Amino acid sequence: MNNGRICVSVCAETADKMLEQIERAEDLADVIEIRLDCLNESEIDSTLKKIDCKENYIFTYRPKNQGGRRELTLKEREDFWNSGYDFCGGDFEEDVVENHLYWLYHPVICSYHNFDGIPDHLTQIYERIKNANANIDVIKIAVQANDITDTIAVWKLLERMNAESESIKAKKLKEIEELEKKLNSSIPRPISFLQIIPIAMGEAGKWTRILGLAHGAFMTYASLETGKETASGQISAKDLIETYRVRELDAQTEIYGIIGNPVSHSLSPFMHNAAFKFHNLNAVYIPFEVKNLNEFLRRMVKPETREIDLNFKGFSVTIPHKQAIIEHLDFVDETAKAIGAVNTVKIIGGKFHGFNTDAEGFIEPLRNSYGDLRDAKIAVLGAGGAARACIYALKKEGANVCIFARNIEKAKILAKEFDVELKPLSTQHSALSTFDIVVNATPLGTKGKLENETPIFAEQIKSVKLVYDLVYNPFETQFLREAKSVGVPTIGGLAMLVSQAMEQFKIWTQFDVPMKEMSQAAFRRL
Ligand code: NAP
């Protein structure tokens, strides 16, 4: 448990919509940020008259260059804050914070936003705000991370504030006591002796929103719901609370996560966090969007070179780092070596151990559905990374495998390595009629541009015994519909996804795998 707060940011154009969002946010949030700059000009007055000020409300009236919704001059903002409304807490930009009647607002947040990247002089900006001639309770610094290592500078501000907090508190208390002596009366203590909200915006910065509270950040911002984000990388309050359990995390929390690019679509955080929650483990699983793997491992993970100290215990590894991760590992298990790809890393005593759970994750649902695979004739469509894991697992079971690929030259390497047959993939041929099982290991059918596509049609698979699509989103692909239309039993990609995640959970922890919770979490998300 930590002392941090979850702040839901609400942003609407009319008074009615704003009030409706505030009401919904009350159930989830410790603090509500009311973005007055989102309102139509004509709605501001009526909105402010309808809001009853509460201790946990914070108003913003932000100009566009600081992330607001409208162009606002300094004078317009100064006039606004001095207009005599009954404001609650306020979040001010640096240029207005010293000039307005700040003692009317509790708390006073002074914020700095940069949507281009991390400025070189971030520490100076922090020092400048810290030393501003204003009664600031909280410094908020929100800057865009374009790669994950950009987040280091932001995290260092939190470490700096933590190191300085006792001396800041002592200094402020001394000032208050001196003032009290002068006035010969007591003054209420501030709600905070200066704290910080460090935010790295963007997908790469998501982890700072999840781990901030555990490491002493005053607050973390959340959206009212998925799709209502007011800043890039924001997570819904429900997910922060229920999936990432951010209020329960602390500095000892074990950190797991998925490293890849992209990772925003990943269902793994939902499955693994559901498992951690089930066992009440002090552990969290986070999406880490990593473009440069070397730099991420060197500057953020490896104990001997890292610049910040996070309690990493393991990773899932996905595209495009499954092969590249291998040179960074201290040990690689036999299955991962044979497949030539690692999708799971466990960190034990600072040493990095690599595994591959795709093969077992693939074969387990197939064995459950089909039974003994010895001598089964299996067509694998596609010759990429997933196909490698499938072919390895199928060969181990004693199946007869044939690869069907569009790029024969490229696929020849794979076919030779595993000593399997290779044929061209085509929607015309009838070569599939003699197979027992057909596996789709191409991305055809995946949500988005490829959603209506299928590698083969019903006519080609009507005599096979089972089809297995590795694509898991959507739950039912066009390929599976083709099979169902001719009465062929199917396995969807979600089965493999959950099964490989369960294998990962086994590798990372000593606990029983909560199968039901993990699969329900993935299914709900889809
Ligand atoms: P990959 O390494 O990029 O390989 C994709 C393969 O599909 C390549 O052989 C590629 O051929 C072929 N391909 C791509 N587009 C094609 C098209 N339009 N027509 C015919 N063939 C095409 O990707 P991967 O990692 O193997 O993943 C493949 C699929 O499996 C993805 O959809 C992924 O989401 C899914 N998957 C699911 C799970 C799970 O747990 N359910 C796990 C892993 C992967 P070229 O070599 O000619 O480009």
Alpha carbons 473 and 165: distance in angstroms, whole number: 47
Q: Count how many Cα atoms sit within 13 Å of the Cα of residue 44 in the half-sphere of its side chain.
A: 16
The length of the chain is 526
Contact 461, 432 (CB under 8 A): yes
CB 404 near ligand 1, within 6 Å? no
CB 384 near ligand 1, within 6 Å? yes
CB 443 near ligand 1, within 6 Å? yes
Question: What contacts 476, CB < 8 A, 6 or more positions away?
Answer: 492
Ligand 1 atom at minimum distance from 473 CA = 34
Alpha carbons 219 and 224: distance in angstroms, whole number: 15
Catalytic residue among 140, 206, 322, 346: 322
**Residue of 440, 487, 493 whose CA lies nearest to 465:** 487
State in Å, rounded, how far the first CA of the chain is from the last one: 30
447 is catalytic: no
The owner of tokens 């040990």 is 331
Query: Tokens for 69?
Result: 């919704």
Return the sign of the alpha-carbon dihedral for residues 159, 253, 148, 195: negative
Alpha carbons 201 and 278: distance in angstroms, whole number: 30
Contact 155, 129 (CB under 8 A): no
Residue 303's alpha-carbon distances to 196, 328, 506, in angstroms, are 26, 13, 24
**Residue of 381, 329, 328, 386 whose CA lies nearest to 357:** 386
Neighbours of 31 (CB within 10 A): 22
470 Cα: distance to centroid of ligand 1 (angstroms): 9
Domains of the chain, CATH where assigned: 5-251 (3.20.20.70), 255-356+499-525 (3.40.50.10860), 369-491 (3.40.50.720)
Question: What contacts 233, CB < 8 A, 6 or more positions away?
Answer: 145, 200, 201, 202, 203, 204, 205, 206, 209
pTM reported for the whole predicted model? 0.93
456 Cα: distance to centroid of ligand 1 (angstroms): 14
428 Cα: distance to centroid of ligand 1 (angstroms): 20
CB 445 near ligand 1, within 6 Å? no
CB 3 near ligand 1, within 6 Å? no
* Residue in 406, 475, 500 to alter for ligand 1 test, most ligand atoms within 8 A of Cβ: 406
497 Cα: distance to centroid of ligand 1 (angstroms): 14
Which residues is 326 bridged to in the sheet?
none
Each of the 526 residues of the chain gets a pLDDT tens digit; together they read 888 999 999 999 999 999 999 999 999 999 999 999 999 999 999 999 999 888 899 999 999 988 899 899 999 998 888 887 877 888 999 988 876 555 556 778 999 999 999 999 999 999 999 988 787 889 999 999 999 999 999 999 999 999 988 888 888 788 878 888 888 888 777 666 789 999 999 999 999 999 999 999 999 999 999 888 888 999 999 999 999 999 999 999 999 999 999 999 999 999 999 999 999 999 999 999 999 999 999 999 999 999 999 999 999 999 999 999 999 999 999 999 999 999 999 999 999 999 999 999 999 999 999 999 999 999 999 999 999 999 999 999 999 999 999 999 999 999 999 999 999 998 776 778 899 999 999 999 999 999 999 999 999 999 999 999 999 999 999 999 999 999 999 999 999 999 999 999 999 998 999 999 999 999 999 8
The helix/strand/coil state of 389 is helix
Ligand 1 atom at minimum distance from 388 CA = 26
Written as one string, the DSSP assignment of 475-500 is SS-HHHHHHHHTT--EE-HHHHHHHH
The stretches of 38-150 forming alpha helices (DSSP H) are: 41-50, 74-81, 94-97, 122-130
Ligand 1 atom at minimum distance from 361 CA = 40
The stretches of 265-333 forming alpha helices (DSSP H) are: 268-278, 293-296
Alpha carbons 306 and 265: distance in angstroms, whole number: 28
* Bridge-based pairing state of the strands 490-491 and 421-424: unpaired
Ligand 1 atom at minimum distance from 443 CA = 32
Angle 490-493-498 (CA atoms, 0-180°, nearest 5)? Answer: 120
Phi (first) and psi of residue 153, to 5 degrees: -60, -35
Residue nearest atom 18 of ligand 1, based on CA coordinates:
444
CB 405 near ligand 1, within 6 Å? yes
CB 492 near ligand 1, within 6 Å? no
365 Cα: distance to centroid of ligand 1 (angstroms): 19
315 Cα: distance to centroid of ligand 1 (angstroms): 22
